[in-house]
Amino acid sequence: PSQPPHTISAFFILVSFPPLREKVFGAKKARPAPALAARQERNPRLRRWRSRGEAADMAKYIITLSFDDGFLKSNLKIAEIYERFGLRACMNVLAEPEALVEEQRIWGTERGDWAVWNELQARGHEIMPHGCRHLDKSALPFEEAKQLIERCLAIFAEKMEGFDSHRAVFNFPYNRSTAELEAWLPTVVRAYRTAGGPINPLPRRGMTCVRTAGHGPGDCSEDIDRWIGRLLQQPEGWLVYNTHGLDGEGWGPITSDFLERLLGRLMEMEGVEVMPTAAALARAWGEA
């Protein structure tokens, strides 16, 4: 949908005027990921951010960029950029990328492997399931779709260190689900991500459905800015925006420069927190 021009300008006004930010958002900021503590000690910018306060539950707004498909070059760069700000990236990867469906191959076939995903997880990033080979589950009979999801989760349990499906978020390929799958999935995962308005209520215990949206096939940076503007017009909320690769890689990509500028802006805004999907839900359950 189109968005009135004043929405984006309001977002940048809030970024530019610290007194207005404090009035709207309060004065607390998120606790950084423990795995990144050493980088924060070495980086004065990150130490200043941490010193603003560690009561992460005071954030009125959570923003999640949910990166799909596991593009190797892009995800390594995404991790690098997030780490500059002491943040954890949200990455959703395929369990069997070597069996990628044909229509997905046009976006690139160089995907990460389990060694890469375990390394990035050890560095603090979130690695979650996105299916086996990117099949549209809504186009399959229920039993076939169910078996594919179970296979995906079993592979993750075997390959990803410490993976627990009951704390995981299953990210539907194409963000397409069915009512039957949505009713079954909470028996095997904590939550699932599917299509819908991407501004969700703040995470809460027992939340099983996370809605998202994206834009493509071209660059989606303007759409991200529009949705952030809409989020900031709400009293509170959680924006989960689905994107893919960087610098032309994948459907609906963004540029590395845009991602770095965006995270820099968000880090300066009191009451706004950037974090992965499963981590946000885990905190609502009192686990983080």
pLDDT at 107: 64
pLDDT at 142: 98
**Full-model pTM:** 0.80
Condensed to tens digits (0 to 9), the pLDDT of residues 60-116 reads 999 999 999 999 999 999 999 999 999 999 999 999 987 776 777 666 667 899 999
Query: From CA 156, how far away is CA 153, in angstroms rounded?
Result: 5
Condensed to tens digits (0 to 9), the pLDDT of residues 231-262 reads 999 999 999 999 999 999 999 999 999 999 99
Query: How many Cα atoms sit within 13 Å of 203 on the Cβ side?
Result: 29
CA 144 to chain CA centroid, Å, is: 27
Q: Please check whether residue 103 is in contact with residue 69, taking contact to mean a CB–CB distance below 8 angstroms.
A: no
| Mean pLDDT value across the chain | 84
Whether residue 196 is predicted with pLDDT greater than 80 in this model: the reply is yes
Averaged pLDDT, 148-157? 98
Cβ contacts of residue 101 below 8 Å, gap of 6+?
133, 134, 135
Whether residue 43 is predicted with pLDDT greater than 50 in this model: the reply is no
More confident residue, 284 or 54: 284
